Each structure stands twice: as structure tokens, then as C-alpha cells.
């Protein structure tokens, strides 16, 4: 302590600080492009969205300050509650399903006795790379009444034609199926990376102790994968709360508004009805919801081995 005080008095510490600043300046220079990108495309729009949530109007009609009116409108808007209901229903179905299926795929493809692993990995991962518009169009062809591939296959086994988009349940399941198909590859790759990192000796020791594959999965694989599962869960929460493109492309929010997600509600208000203020208020609430859920998950779930 005394040495440091003496060094400060003598100016040596000041010199060190300057060097440190110089050294940081170089670091900031390297960080500048990323920081600039962050400020322009993320922090800037985020702050603008929060500010706009206190204004009514849109880009065609102009804005005027309205305090908390947009939030009060949301509070009493039945449409908004309907979108929350659907988003939560979708969320509750998709998050466990996508994680369970991708984990199962990863465990299967991590087995040394499986042949053609790389082919399967590529095939399962491919939908994650394809644009959602392409995937949705493909699915629309497959679920088309009468001549759609799925109904034709069902007809072969004498199963009655399914009207995929005519009821809220079937329309929701269709969206879940498409999103599942798209998401499985992404999470599977992350799980595979986690599986590879589990020490082989643990399995050898378990085998010596007489543990079978199921026991090994529950007692070694799952506990060792906890940090990966936590990461995937958080990613799935963030991605799926923003469900939009599949709704836009496949159901258009129907039937009867039963598949309108929160992101759809934001889009409609912002770009169809010229109510960017209301859309910004909804976006702010969505941001708070995702942040809160993520914070709770980070608190509750273990993040290290």
C-alpha cells in the first residue's frame, strides 16, 4: 500500500496508467468495428425503441408524446393477450421438444457404431442453414390439401386427409413441426460438441461397474451436459419468444387469429397499421420478458460442471 502511494507520488503510477491507456487504446481500436456495429445496429435501435414506446403514431402519421398510453392500451387489448396466450402455448411445446429431439439425435450420432454419421449430421443441420421463407414454402407444398405430400402419404395408409391449417390446434402443430425441423440441427451440433467433451474414462468406469447405456445416460451424460443444456435452453427461450417468420409464411396468424405471436402483433402494428409507438411498447415488454426469463434460468440452472 505504501509502495503504491509512493509510486503514485513519484509519478511512476501515472506513467503506468498512461501506458495502460495507450495499451487499451489499441484494444479499443481493434474493438471499434464491433463496437460501432453494436451501437448502430443494436444499442441505438434498442434505445430508440424504448423512447418510441412513449410516443403514439407511426412513420406515416408522425409521432406525438403520449406517456404511458401505449402500455395502458396493451393492458386492455384483448388481441395482445391472445398473442401472449399463443406464444406461451407454442413456447411450452417447442422448447422441451426441440431440446429433447436434438439431444436424442446428438446422442445417437455420437455413438461410435453408427455409420454415415457425417451425412446424417449434415442432413439434420441443413434446415438450420436454409432461409425460413424457403422452408415454409416447402412445407406449404407438403401440407397442401389433397395433393400435398403428407396427405398423399397418409392416404396410402388409409388415413383421412388432415386439414393442417383449418383448426387452431393443427395450425399450431404445423408451426411447431416446421420450427422443430429447423431448430433440431442447430441444437444437435451444440449437444454433439458437449458430448465429445465428456471424458471417455467416465463411461469406461461406469461399464466396469456394470452400468448399462440408459444408466450411463442419466448418471454421466446428462449431468456432464448441464452447462450445454443450460446454454441451449437459454438460446431456445430467446429464439422462440420471437416466433414470427413461420407464422407470417404459413398461417398468416389464422385461423381466427389463433396463431398470432407477440412478434406478429409487433409487426402488424408497426408496418400494417402505422402504430410504431404501440409496437415499440410491445417490443419493450417482450425484451423485459425474455430478459427476466433468461435471468431466472441463469440463476436456477447450473452453468458449470
Partner 1 sequence: MKYRTIVGLLGAVGSLFLVSSASSEETKTIGFWKAPHSADEAALWSPYIAEFEKAHPGVKIDHVITPWNTWNEAYTAAFASGNAPCVSYMVDAFSPAFIYNKKFVDIDAAGWSDQVKGGYGPLWTVAHFGEMQVGVPFATSPRMWLYNKDMFDKAGVKYPTDDWTMDDLVETLRKLKASGVETPGNIPVAAAKLGYQSYLPFLWSMGGDILDKSGKPRVDDDASVHTMKWLKALFDEKLIAPIGNYSAQEGQDLFVRGSIAVQNMAAEVLGKLKAEAPDLKYGIVKSPTGPGGQHNFQDWGYFAIANECAYKEEAWEFVKFITSKQVVEQYIAAVGLFPARVDTNLYQSDPDGKAFLDNMAQNRNIPIVPKSNQIVDLWFKEVEAALSGIIAPEEAAKNAQASLERVLR
Please write down the long-range contacts of 64-72, taking CB distance under 8 Å and 24 or more positions apart: 66/277, 70/277, 70/278, 70/280, 70/281, 71/281, 71/285
Listed residue (147, 150, 131) closest to 139, CA to CA: 150
Answer yes or no whether residue 69 interacts with partner 1 by CB under 8 A.
Answer: no
- State yes or no: residue 45 binds partner 1 (CB under 8 A): no
Stretch that binds partner 1, among 63-71, 118-126, 165-173, 292-300 (CB under 8 A): 165-173
Contacts with partner 1, 118-157, as mask; x by CB under 8 A: ---------------------------x------------
Please identify, using beta-carbon distances, which residue of 102 and 261 lies nearer to partner 1: 261
* Closer residue to partner 1 in complex, CB, 179/260: 260
Q: Does 251 bind partner 1 (CB under 8 A)?
A: yes
Note whether 258 binds partner 1 by CB under 8 A: yes
Min dist. Cβ of residue 165 to partner 1 (A)? 5
Q: Which residues of 157-181 are buried (b: 16+ CB within 10 A; e: fewer)?
A: eeeeebebbeebebbbbbbbbbbbb
Applying CB under 8 A, among 63, 101, 257, 290 the residue interacting with partner 1 is 257
Distance between CA atoms of residues 129 and 245, nearest Å: 15
Q: Which stretch binds partner 1 (CB under 8 A): 31-39, 186-194, 236-244, 252-260?
A: 252-260
Distance between CA atoms of residues 80 and 40, nearest Å: 30
What are residue 58's DSSP bridge partners?
Answer: 62
Contact, 80 vs 283, CB < 8 A? no
* Cell numbers standing for residue 169: 390446434
Pairing label, strands 55-58, 62-65: antiparallel
Supply the minimum distance, in Å, between the C-beta of residue 151 and partner 1: 11
Total residues in contact with partner 1, by rule CB under 8 A = 27
Instruction: Tell me how far, at minimum, the Cβ of 46 lies from partner 1, in Å.
Output: 21
Residues contributing to the site for partner 1 (CB under 8 A): 59-62, 76-79, 145, 163, 165-168, 251-258, 268, 271-274
Amino acid at each position: 500500500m505504501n509502495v503504491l502511494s509512493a509510486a503514485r507520488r513519484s509519478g511512476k503510477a501515472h506513467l503506468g496508467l498512461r501506458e495502460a491507456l495507450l495499451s487499451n487504446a489499441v484494444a479499443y481500436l481493434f474493438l471499434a468495428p464491433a463496437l460501432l456495429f453494436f451501437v448502430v445496429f443494436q444499442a441505438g435501435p434498442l434505445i430508440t425503441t424504448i423512447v418510441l414506446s412513449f410516443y403514439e403514431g407511426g412513420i406515416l402519421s408522425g409521432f406525438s408524446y403520449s406517456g404511458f398510453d401505449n402500455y395502458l392500451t396493451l393492458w386492455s387489448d384483448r388481441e395482445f393477450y391472445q398473442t401472449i396466450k399463443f406464444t406461451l402455448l407454442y413456447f411450452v411445446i417447442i422448447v422441451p421438444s426441440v431440446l429433447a429431439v436434438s439431444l436424442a439425435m446428438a446422442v445417437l450420432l455420437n455413438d461410435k457404431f453408427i455409420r454415415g454419421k457425417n451425412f446424417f449430421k449434415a442432413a439434420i443441420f441443413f434446415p438450420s442453414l436454409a432461409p425460413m421463407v424457403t422452408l415454409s414454402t416447402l412445407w406449404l407444398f407438403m401440407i397442401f390439401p389433397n395433393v400435398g405430400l403428407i396427405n398423399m402419404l397418409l392416404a396410402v395408409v388409409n388415413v383421412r386427409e388432415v386439414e393442417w391449417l383449418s383448426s387452431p390446434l393443427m395450425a399450431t402443430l404445423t408451426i411447431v413441426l416446421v420450427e422443430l425441423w429447423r431448430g433440431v440441427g442447430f441444437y444437435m451440433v451444440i449437444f454433439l460438441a458437449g458430448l465429445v467433451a465428456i471424458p471417455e474414462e467416465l463411461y469406461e468406469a461406469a461399464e466396469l461397474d456394470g452400468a448399462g447405456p440408459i444408466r450411463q445416460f442419466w448418471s454421466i451424460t446428462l449431468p456432464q451436459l448441464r452447462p450445454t443444456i443450460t446454454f441451449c435452453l437459454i438460446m431456445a427461450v430467446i429464439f422462440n419468444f420471437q416466433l414470427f417468420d413461420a407464422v407470417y409464411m404459413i398461417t398468416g396468424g389464422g385461423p381466427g387469429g389463433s396463431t398470432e405471436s407477440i412478434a406478429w402483433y409487433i409487426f402488424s402494428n408497426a408496418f400494417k397499421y402505422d402504430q410504431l409507438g404501440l409496437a415499440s411498447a410491445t417490443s419493450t415488454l417482450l425484451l423485459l420478458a425474455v430478459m427476466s426469463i433468461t435471468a431466472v434460468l441463469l440463476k436456477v440452472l447450473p452453468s458449470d460442471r
